[in-house]
Structure 1
Amino acid sequence: MSVTDDAIEAIKQMIVDGELRPGDRLPREADLADRLGLSRNSLREAVRALSLIHVLDVRRGDGTYVTSLEPSLLMDAMGFVVDFHRDDTVLQFLEARRVIEPAVTEMAARHMPDSDLEDLAKLLDSLGDRPTVDQLVENDLEFHRRIAGGCGNSVLASLLESLSGRTQRARTWRGITQEGVTERTLAEHRAILHALAARQPDVARAAATVHIAGVEQWLRQTLVE
């Protein structure tokens, strides 16, 4: 379990124990980090993760509050995590991606028009060096969608888009909790693009395999923990 996961669990336990109730304001960051024995950076990442799934409400200039925790809100928030923490179905989707996507990427290296490859490069450049998790995942989804669309087989493209959408939440959570994932994702995307542009089908297939396997490996470890 990562340090950020530890911080998330600590805050969640405070809510479960009733120490933090709906509408309560969290203690000052420095005080809470010291009390929980965490770094302020880890605590900050945990707050960001919990605000993303609407457990916490960060009000700029005012503080961070526990949400109303209405049943419908909690169901949506917990669904975000339960998808892959308590159900390995998403792992099966990632396994399917690992089987299909490298082959599709290999086909794209042969068939994708040069103009589409240029647009793919612009898509990666548009992300910048420090994207948010949401921006990273959105760019990631579009990157793979375009490659699938350039493989020359609309059936495979449609199938892959369906599989990719089913793993979006897991990819978002990975972006929040795994250190260095943004840099790693961008580097792997660049490697795939380079192989496509060089018209190297075997290299493109290998780069895609490494990329998808990295997400799958992280998820397997998360489920074990």
Structure 2
Amino acid sequence: MAVTDEAIMKIKDMIVSGDLGPGDRLPREADLAERLGLSRNSLREAVKALSLIHVLDVRQGDGTYVTSLEPSLLMGAMEFVVDLHRDDTVLQFVEVRRILEPAATAMAATRMSEADIADLREHLRTLDAAPSVDDLVATDLEFHRKIAHGSGNPVIGSLLDSLSAPTQWARVWRGLTQTNAVERTMAEHRAIVDAIEARQPDVAQSWSTIHIAGIELWLREALS
């Protein structure tokens, strides 16, 4: 294991074990290096790497702190990696969506508040009024984001947020090329909201699976 990787693992272990928690300030560099049996140079490289993925926050003139470690913050690095994939690997991201999103939709059917469901229903009207495919995709992304976060699980919400970017161009492409794609999308959205509103998690999950699987099937055919 490279010395920088070892340093990263040792800092991670301190956080996992509870020696360092969200918002805690790291000990002085010299003290921490001695405590962990590391050179100061490898410790600096580890701190730099962990700050890039938002685990640590380096404040000039103040010190280095553990961040809040909120999922939405930590997923920033994943979004960067995801954004780099613009070829047929987008299909792999759709496959992950097909696994996660129906589960999130089922959770939303039991956890979303009545006010959030009413907001989701209102958002459907916004989708109906979208004047172009680009506008429809933008509002579609927000529709799915509302459901993901309605699951009540911020990790799932953040994961699905990070998976939206590489599938956005595919959604536009589908809307422009597949016959009745917009009408089918809208009908499936309504069925999903109806199931959530009726507090039917199994039905909501099934409609979500149908919805994402339809995108996946179309994409497989388009890429072949």
Displacement of 1:138 after TM fit? 0.9
Displacement of 1:164 after TM fit? 1.7
Displacement of 1:139 after TM fit? 1.2
1:198–1:169: structure 2 CA closer, same or farther, 3 Å change rule?
A: same
What letter corresponds to residue 189 of structure 1 in structure 2? H
What letter corresponds to residue 148 of structure 2 in structure 1? A
Matches within 5 A, 1:163-178: 163-178=163-178
Matches within 5 A, 1:74-153: 83=86, 87-128=87-128, 131-153=131-153
Displacement of 1:204 after TM fit? 0.4
* Gaps in structure 2 of 5+ consecutive residues: 1-84
Question: Which whole-Å CA distance do the structure 2 matches of 1:127 and 1:88 have between them?
Answer: 28
Report Cα offsets for 1:8-32 as digits up to 9, x if no partner.
Answer: xxxxxxxxxxxxxxxxxxxxxxxxx
1:215 corresponds to: 215
1:162–1:130: structure 2 CA closer, same or farther, 3 Å change rule?
A: closer
What letter corresponds to residue 157 of structure 1 in structure 2? G
1:154 corresponds to: 154
Question: Which whole-Å CA distance do the structure 2 matches of 1:147 and 1:162 have between them?
Answer: 14
Question: Which whole-Å CA distance do the structure 2 matches of 1:214 and 1:152 have between them?
Answer: 26
Question: Which whole-Å CA distance do the structure 1 matches of 2:151 and 2:128 have between them?
Answer: 27
* Gaps in structure 1 of 5+ consecutive residues: 1-81
Report Cα offsets for 1:157-216 as digits up to 9, x if no partner.
Answer: 000111122200111111111111110000000000000000000000000000000100
Question: Which whole-Å CA distance do the structure 2 matches of 1:211 and 1:180 have between them?
Answer: 14
Question: Which whole-Å CA distance do the structure 1 matches of 2:156 and 2:128 have between them?
Answer: 30
Displacement of 1:127 after TM fit? 2.8
1:180–1:129: structure 2 CA closer, same or farther, 3 Å change rule?
A: farther
What letter corresponds to residue 117 of structure 2 in structure 1? L
Question: Which whole-Å CA distance do the structure 2 matches of 1:127 and 1:141 have between them?
Answer: 10
Q: CA RMSD in A?
A: 1.4
Q: Tell which deviates more after alignment, 162-171 or 189-198.
A: 162-171
What letter corresponds to residue 128 of structure 1 in structure 2? D
Displacement of 1:110 after TM fit? 0.6
What letter corresponds to residue 222 of structure 1 in structure 2? A
**Could you tell me the TM-score, scaled by structure 1's length?**
0.60
Q: 2:128·2:186 contact (CA, 8 Å) conserved in 1? A: no
Question: Which whole-Å CA distance do the structure 2 matches of 1:151 and 1:205 have between them?
Answer: 12
Q: 2:151·2:157 contact (CA, 8 Å) conserved in 1? A: yes
What letter corresponds to residue 142 of structure 1 in structure 2? E
What SS does the aligned partner of 2:127 have?
A: coil
> How much identity, in percent, do the aligned residues show?
59
Q: 2:105·2:147 contact (CA, 8 Å) conserved in 1? A: yes
What letter corresponds to residue 188 of structure 1 in structure 2? E
Displacement of 1:130 after TM fit? 6.5
What SS does the aligned partner of 2:135 have?
A: helix
How many residue pairs end up in the alignment? 140
